[in-house]
């Protein structure tokens, strides 16, 4: 029996990671590189992408950067074609690009609502659709990053709730449509996660952070390392028969306690 629980779980794989320059996306990209994957980092901020790529390369990994906005389909399609030409079949596609800001429904413009829908939901659709011709068939794995917002109403987060609910059902639909080609599609649902831009916006003070922690049954925020480890499992051979699944990594936040109340917008 082969030992799938080993180092270099992703050797010879190519991973295309949107939102790869910071936050959860960056940590996932770093973890994949640690296990032998060549990673392509995608995001809107070139310097963040360059910093992440440099850190991966210094650690002995392989990384390329593609500065772009996931709302622009043609830019994504061109970047995916370049990645395919450079590295070959894309075995892993991670959709981690996201937008967020706290605002009540009555204080949010249609533009603000649409911006988050377009980055999170349309961006995931664009990435997957543009990637399809370049995905390894069979054997590719798609991983979308959702949030508790998909199933828990959270004050001042109507735009994110709507977007993430769409992301989860889109992922399940991809699992149905692309399963016959041997492509898996799964979703990770993080809870409140430490050292992320989203948490700094939703809980900008120590008091707000403590309030969030009180709503987590495990009594603490999650870490990016914990999410990266789950992503590694789902995109490895260890999860070869898992598709259309939504994996919670939220410390029990979704088990029935009220959705955490972020700080009201200033």
The domain segmentation of the chain, as residue ranges, is 14-246
Core vs surface per residue 234-251: b (16+ CB within 10 A) or e: bbbeebeeebeebbbbbb
Four-way CATH pick for 14-246: 3.40.50.720, 3.40.50.2300, 3.20.20.70, 3.10.620.30: 3.40.50.720
CB atoms within 10 A of CB 210: 10
Residue 256 has pLDDT above 90, yes or no: no
pLDDT at 215: 85
**Least confident window among 1-10, 81-90, 124-133:** 1-10
pLDDT at 257: 56
Residue 2 has pLDDT above 50, yes or no: no
Non-local (6+) Cβ contacts of 111 within 8 A are: none
Is the separation of the CB atoms in 62 and 34 below 8 Å?
A: no
Is the separation of the CB atoms in 204 and 162 below 8 Å?
A: no
Cα distance between residue 37 and residue 169, in whole Å: 28
Q: What percent of the chain has pLDDT over 90?
A: 78
Per-residue pLDDT tens over the stretch 141-186: 999 999 988 998 888 999 999 999 999 999 999 999 999 999 999 9
DSSP run (H or E) holding 128: helix 123-131
Average pLDDT along the chain: 92
Residue 227 has pLDDT above 60, yes or no: yes
């Amino acid at each position: 029996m082969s030992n799938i629980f080993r180092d270099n779980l992703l050797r010879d794989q190519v991973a295309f990671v949107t939102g790869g320059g910071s936050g959860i996306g960056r940590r996932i990209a770093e973890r994949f590189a640690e296990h032998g994957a060549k990673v392509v980092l995608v995001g809107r901020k070139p310097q963040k992408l360059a910093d992440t790529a440099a850190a991966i390369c210094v650690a002995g990994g392989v990384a390329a950067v593609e500065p772009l906005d996931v709302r622009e389909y043609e830019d994504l399609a061109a970047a995916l074609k370049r990645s395919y030409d450079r590295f070959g079949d894309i075995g892993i596609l991670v959709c981690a690009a996201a937008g967020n800001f706290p605002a009540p429904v009555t204080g949010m413009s249609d533009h603000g609502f649409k911006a988050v829908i377009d980055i999170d939901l349309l961006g995931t659709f664009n990435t997957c659709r543009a990637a399809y011709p370049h995905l390894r068939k069979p054997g590719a794995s798609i991983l979308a990053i959702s949030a508790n917002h998909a199933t828990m109403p959270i004050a001042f987060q109507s735009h994110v709730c709507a977007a993430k609910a769409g992301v989860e059902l889109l992922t399940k639909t991809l699992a149905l449509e692309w399963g016959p080609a041997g492509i898996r599609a799964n979703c990770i649902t993080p809870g409140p996660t430490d050292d992320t831009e989203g948490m700094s916006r939703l809980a900008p003070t120590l008091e707000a952070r403590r309030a969030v922690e009180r709503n987590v049954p495990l009594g603490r925020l999650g870490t990016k390392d914990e999410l990266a480890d789950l992503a590694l499992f789902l995109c490895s051979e260890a999860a070869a028969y898992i598709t259309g699944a939504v994996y919670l990594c939220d410390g029990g936040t979704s088990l029935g306690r009220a959705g955490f109340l972020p700080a009201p917008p200033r």
